[in-house]
Chains A and B, each alone.
Chain A
Amino acid sequence: MLQFFEEFKAIFEYASGVTDDPPPRGQSWMRSPLWWGIWWAILILLIVAFSGQSSKFIYIDF
């Protein structure tokens, strides 16, 4: 369970730009331009689909 979580964390952190190097299990496919193309498309799709609510970031007021 813990190992699964650690692997998920490593993949998520690489995919979200927190770390520079992919985890051992994703070395090859996570470096390919195809992977980045699909991932960026998903992120942009999410942004476009949910944008327009124009709420303020909470910590701006602090």
Chain B
Amino acid sequence: MIFNTFVYYLLFLLPSAILYRGSSAKLRPWIIAVFGSLFFLYFAYSMAGTAGALCLGIFLLESITSRLYTPRSRWCILGLLQGLVFLGIFKYWNFFAGLLFWRHANPLRWQGAFLPLGISFFTFEFYHYAWDRKYNRTEPGTLAEYLAFILFFPTMVAGPIKRYQDFLPKLRAEPENWTSDWLTGGTRILTGLAKKFAIADVLSAWTDHLNARDIRLAGRGALVLWLFAYSIKIYADFSAYSDIAIGSARLFGIRVPENFDWPYGRRNIQRFWACWHMSLTRWLTDYVFVPVARLRVGSWKPHIYVVIVTTMLISGLWHGAGLHYIAWGLYHGLLLVAHKIWRGWLGPASQKPVPVFASRVLTYLCVTAGYALFTMDLHTVVLFYRRLLIG
């Protein structure tokens, strides 16, 4: 919901964007912070009640702690840890406690567990800021600027994931061209809504069949069709979400990072990931891949294949607390490793039309085959592939 509700546009986006553009530079970050807080309270309350809304306190606490971060300080480590601890409790507590007790009764189960609105994406930005402050890669800014960065509601719930050093100059700049920003931003929002309603939601009629009961009844053709439908649906859905977020930000005169660049037409899995959920890929590269690749224990250092698979496993786990998400991450990690080995054997890729076309199709098919792992639990996935391959 959220982006496809009138409340979002009439109560939050339009008033705040107009107020923001008409205000002084000093007031602008506060306008974002106040509207961002109200946005959070409204939608978190409507999704998870009072407890959900109260989670704003956690994010404000993390924001205040951020004022203590200085290059190479221990406060930065505290910042890194507190973000992960809150994410761990809310998102993974029941999952890991369940694994711990496996098939026995789980005394640690949190019955009233809920996921605070946008916690996964908040964590990315908190973590990025603490890390970059630790290595002196960004200036601290003021509290108001930091709150504006964290509580900028167009990107709060599901990205695109911003970087502070990229956001700050845009926040400080005078928003100039109303006409261009509102025309482009408005078009982007309308395109996103049209994609969501006319493509993603329509395909739900097919993709909703990806459950154990329907899979048992379906023929092979239907299974293949549902999977292809899911590949288009997830792309239309998430790119629509990103379109609306980017378009909404543009109404403020702020450009946020792009998230998609025609990922399904890419020649290999590495290029696919460079064009799919781009802000996440860049985040994982900077804060998981590079640090893991630089690990040294005595003379031991991790092999590049281990680094790739570890990064994709973390990506899988981030997508959800379920074994099937981890399996999906592993699958993509192995695809990336296979591609690296393949390129090592064959050298530079051929530029002839037939191999280029074939590699584009193969990449798309590999990604689409993996959606079964993404969208169904492990038991259903096994059933799905058994029905698909054996009958």
List residues of chain A with CB under 8 Å of any chain B CB: 5, 9, 15-18, 20, 36, 39-40, 43-44, 46-47, 49-51, 53-62
Contacts and interface: CB of A to CB of B under 8 A. Distances in A.
**Most B CB atoms within 10 A — which of A15, A56, A60?**
A60
A58 B191 contact: no
Given A16-B188, A18-B188, A43-B190, A50 B158 contact: no
B187 interface: yes
Given A17-B247, A53-B204, A62-B120, 9 more contacts: A46-B197, A49-B198, A50-B201, A57-B3, A57-B238, A57-B240, A58-B237, A59-B158, A59-B238
**Secondary structure of the B side of the interface?**
helix
A9 B260 CA distance: 13
A47 B194 contact: yes
Q: What are the 4 closest A-B residue pairs judged by CB atoms, nearest first?
A: A17-B188, A17-B187, A50-B197, A16-B191
Contacts of B240: 57
Interface size band for B: 35 or more
B158 A57 contact: yes
Interface stretch (B12-20, B50-58, B177-185): B177-185
Nearest to B194: A46
A45 to B, nearest CB: 9
Contacts of B196: 57
Contacts of A57: 1-4, 158, 196, 237-238, 240-241
Given A17-B185, A20-B180, A47 B158 contact: no
Contacts of B2: 57, 60
20 contacts: A16-B188, A17-B184, A17-B187, A17-B250, A43-B190, A43-B194, A47-B190, A47-B193, A47-B198, A50-B198, A50-B201, A50-B202, A55-B200, A56-B1, A57-B196, A57-B238, A57-B241, A60-B158, A61-B320, A62-B320
A18 B258 contact: yes
Interface of B: 1-4, 115, 120, 157-159, 180, 183-191, 193-194, 196-198, 200-202, 204, 234, 237-238, 240-241, 243, 247, 250, 258, 262, 265, 318-320
Contacts of B180: 20
Contact of B183 (A36, A49, A51, A62): A36
Contacts of B185: 17
Contacts of B159: 59
Contacts of A61: 115, 320
A55 B258 CA distance: 24
A40 B262 contact: no
Contacts of A62: 120, 158, 318-320
A46 B198 contact: yes
A40 B238 CA distance: 21
Nearest to B255: A20
B323 to A, nearest CB: 16
A41 to B, nearest CB: 10
Contacts of A18: 188, 258
Contacts of B241: 57, 59
